Structure 1
């Protein structure tokens, strides 16, 4: 997933350290860490230069590449494999369709693999109002796209139930930050596997990522239940 040889020949001088990249993008992506940047490099999405001493040096083009990766993860919930394919097409000078962008016709979900539904069907199946959907989009609890998966339907249906309890999407913005933190933990676990770019290794990494996600969800539920019990509610 590294850049093309032509891109490398025209590569501008690198001047930013890994810490400086984190500082540059930290306000926009608070959960960005040096370990995550190293993880993206290990996955082949980044190819920073190295000093003779082995320190990474990033160009402004690298910084924009990191921003693109993080935006695709945050707003479109895309796996790194799909993001890598998109970046490779850009490196070849192509103009690929943005993964997860709105399209006129439904297709298979890139991430979840189930049939997509239109926004109208999303509202009908979840029982949500347009106002609630708009609030969920504004709070970044749902991505802005034309078609949605059944997981999105279930999420919006849950927001309907919470709304009846007086909990609105704006109250749940902190959940987004928590999810980003958990994704960082999952990426650390997956990167520790030292996986190779073969089908068996990718399958193993996906299995481990799913298991860790479920375990983190269990911890979160346990803490909430314990908190409720301790408060005497």
Structure 2
């Protein structure tokens, strides 16, 4: 496991003659503790000024051990303390001044539900695993203007009580990631329409089971719905890859 700095944070500049690493090596080191981290995530944190690796004359990034530890600290603050980048930046600046700022306690199970797109939603009631608007903005690292635009296109919608389902965090993050490739909300409406059609197909299969008097049968309906959704997503991904290969040839 990577160890975070106990005092001030590294500036990101490797000392002369010190060992440096490529971004691919850094990714492999971080994935031991953070399996979901990606090259795009590391580049995003660099673009936000949270880590500053050296650059070779040809433009390649060279990360020091201090950079890796700093990245691990940032990722841990996001995962365990559910902090937006602004608060993380302030915390790092405090460390650089030699201070020892306190972080809020871990968010436990609810934190994992919000940030893990594969986690099953709890079954305690209709408002379980809901997040507020501010929580959604912080978790997805997006602005109010971006969220408002996505809502105007129907890509994300609040529930009647003004809260958002936990899946909305994942949706917001993916929309933001696609946006970095130039895909705008208007381009993504076709994906939403496709998802709604697939959900309708799943519902046709499980609807009779949901109405059954036997509670075990109703529970089986929910399990079947989850399995069908997983298979549908896998099929969709495979069909997209097949279509891309066909277009490339």
TM-score (norm 2): 0.47
Higher relative contact order (CA 8 A, sep 6+): 1
Q: Which has the larger radius of gyration?
A: 2
TM-score (norm 1): 0.50
